[in-house]
Amino acid sequence: MIDPARLPAPPHAERIAHRYERHGRSVTDDYAWLKDAGYPEVKDAAVLSYLAEENTYFEAAMAPVRPLVDTLFAEMKGRMKEDDSSVPRRDGDWLYWWAFETGAQYRCWWRRRADGSGGGAVVLDEAKEAEGHDYFRLGALAVSPDGRLAAWSADASGAERFTLRIRDLATGADIETVSMIVNGAVVWGAGSDAVAYAEVNDNWRTFRARGHRLGDDPAADATLYEETDDIGFNVHLGQTHDRQWIILGTNDHETSEIRLLPADDLAAAPLLVSPRRARRQYSVDSAHGKLWVLTNDDHVNFRLASADPANPGDWTTVIAGSDGVYLRGVTSFARHLVIEERVDGLDQIRLRTYRGEEHRVAFPETSYTAGLGTNPEFDTPDYRIGYASMVTPDTVYDYDPDARTLAIRKVRDVPSGYDASLYATERLMLPARDGRRIPVSVVYRKGFEKNGHGPLYLYAYGAYGYAYPPGFSADRLSLLDRGWACAIAHIRGGDDLGYGWYLDGKAEKRWNTFHDFADAAKGLIDAGFAAPGRIAIQGGSAGGELMGVVANTDPDLWGAVVADVPFVDVLNTMQDESLPLTPGEWPEWGNPITDPQAFDLIASYSPYDNVTAQAYPPMLITGGLNDPRVTYWEPAKWAARLRAKKTDANPLLLKINMGAGHGGKSGRYEAITEKAEAYAFMIEALGGG
């Protein structure tokens, strides 16, 4: 057990008076000094010393439960197929796939000729590229249309500034370094002699797209598009599925604008599809001489329209918006428009011919998550689909649209054994305090008694319109097999029940997200899944903000709180427009600099600003020193204020990854080590197991 009485004194962060005023309101921030003035470089000795003390304290506190961490790690690793690989998929003359070597932390990317001649050839070996680095993350990997070259990018610090290189696949040697500040997709021109890429500025904003012709000096690369109108917008790249156009997109969280560049002429003037209009979003694909546009211009759940590239802003409705059907994406193939949508919160895939004939793919369960998988070719006889449920491991299907049949290509292997018949799943609709019903997905091992005594793990995200899918987790079996129930709350702020479900949890309606989570927990208690104090909760990033809010508002409900890279210093971050994400976040949270009402709203829930003198449950907080999304000082300041104000003796642990970013440590084994630590913390907090 983690017994604070047997630990050394916890770290103490000095309080240095700091106060500011805005809109006539006064704010105290006595831990502002934890933000290194030289950020993104962190060299302040006092800051580094404090973070080191917290990490030392974390290790001391976790020492008694290391045997459980090791056990959980062994269980999770035992469920991981060490030599796992993907199902090969054809792209032109080649079949491509990835594979892990036994014991490897990273993938190797392979290909072989589709006609069967020759053996497999390495495209990129991540493990080899990661050698000598404490952190490694592959970004883009794109093979040229002629199959001779690969454009690839990687991040070796966690700061999400990727270095883009061009590799000769015949020799395996990199022949050019294009840029060291790339982020996002890389797209080849049709002639295999040029690539388009996007770069970040000093504030980690993806502000421009550039075109590089092989052999030219990268310093002279042409700017294809640069975002100059709005610092809250970020530039991104893509490609239409027929590969006729390179997509130059720019957007914030609620408004988008797209330009199209002919793939065979990167020097051409980009074609503006339609000028940006506040709160209007649209995406574009291309097939058979038409543009296919998905937009929310006249319905919150989007409509599908077509347009002539000669007049790209004139949109003709193909599928009208609907209160009951939420259109989420469209991919144009040679024979079908494949539409990913959601009906009553359930994923659906609709196929529509260009003559207007439609049908939906029939899936085998009543609750699941499904979506298009890897489908690089425009003209393909079948469609690859990914599928899972709370009890069904990740499954790869190929769907035959003529026979309307699903062929299983792969089911995730659980080497240590998995019997789906031992587990049960439910989808509940639990009441929120305003009368709405919150979907909650629950899984448990059969025999779990709904008598209020069992431990419950509850997870949610609830922001940016991201619907946390009710999918499979092999790691989660370590809780289920110890008698836990595990639940996902599909709260407002995500788009689980349509785009309106997202809008009802953002900006001025943000409190709905927090209330939904607490109300879902109370509903699960009423249903017998747990009792107050017998619920362990976890969330990351914006989900970590959620953890911080409900720890302040409903501390008695929780037996443990795990907040990963939590966005908890919301009020201060949203007033610092020098930070990478702040201007682009104003549509999501509100702008407290210019709007007094937004200031008051954020101040009412910002976890750091609302820590109070009360008892808090056991808490584990994580962060990353190189994280450009949620800066390290957010979890550090929050932990410091919690230590100073909380009235309980429960453990409060802060772990800062000193060589990693937003996603934690890289490598598949490092990832499950951190998962094992979180699970061990929760298990011990709720009484062992």
Other residues' Cβ atoms within 10 Å of the Cβ of residue 671:
16
Q: What are 280's two structure tokens?
A: 């209007």
- Return d(Cα 263, Cα 207) in angstroms, integer: 21
- Return d(Cα 185, Cα 249) in angstroms, integer: 12
Pairing of strands 558-564, 619-624: parallel
Identify the CA nearest to 681 among candidates 647, 643, 646, 655: 655
| Length of the chain counted residue by residue | 689
- Return d(Cα 687, Cα 211) in angstroms, integer: 58
By the 8 A CB rule, do 502 and 512 touch?
A: no
By the 8 A CB rule, do 513 and 545 touch?
A: no
Based on its alpha-carbon atoms, the radius of gyration of the chain, rounded to whole angstroms, reads 25
Angle at 674 between CA 75 and CA 444, to 5 degrees: 50
494 forms bridges with which residues in the sheet? Answer: 492
By the 8 A CB rule, do 369 and 471 touch?
A: yes
By the 8 A CB rule, do 279 and 291 touch?
A: no
Pairing of strands 194-200, 162-168: unpaired
- Return d(Cα 221, Cα 77) in angstroms, integer: 45
Q: Where are the alpha helices (DSSP H) in 527-667?
A: 542-553, 570-573, 582-589, 596-605, 633-645
- Return d(Cα 603, Cα 594) in angstroms, integer: 14
By the 8 A CB rule, do 100 and 107 touch?
A: yes
Q: What are phi and psi of 423, to 5 degrees?
A: -125, 155
DSSP output for 492-538 = BTB-TT-HHHHHTTSGGGTHHHHHHHHHHHHHHHHTTS--TT-EEEE
- Return d(Cα 121, Cα 104) in angstroms, integer: 18
Angle at 12 between CA 9 and CA 17, to 5 degrees: 160
**Residue 155 identity (one-letter amino acid):** D
Give me the helix-helix angle, 596-605 and 511-526, nearest 10°: 30
By the 8 A CB rule, do 623 and 656 touch?
A: yes
Q: Is 475 exposed, middle or buried (0-12, 13-18, 19+ CB in 10 A)?
A: middle
Other residues' Cβ atoms within 10 Å of the Cβ of residue 9:
7
Give me the helix-helix angle, 511-526 and 542-553, nearest 10°: 70
Q: What are phi and psi of 311, to 5 degrees?
A: -140, 70
**In the chain, what's the furthest Cα-to-Cα distance?**
74
Sequence-distant (6+) residues with CB within 8 A of 78 are 415, 416
- Please name the residue that has the structure tokens 């696949």: 169
Residues tagged active-site: 541, 627, 662
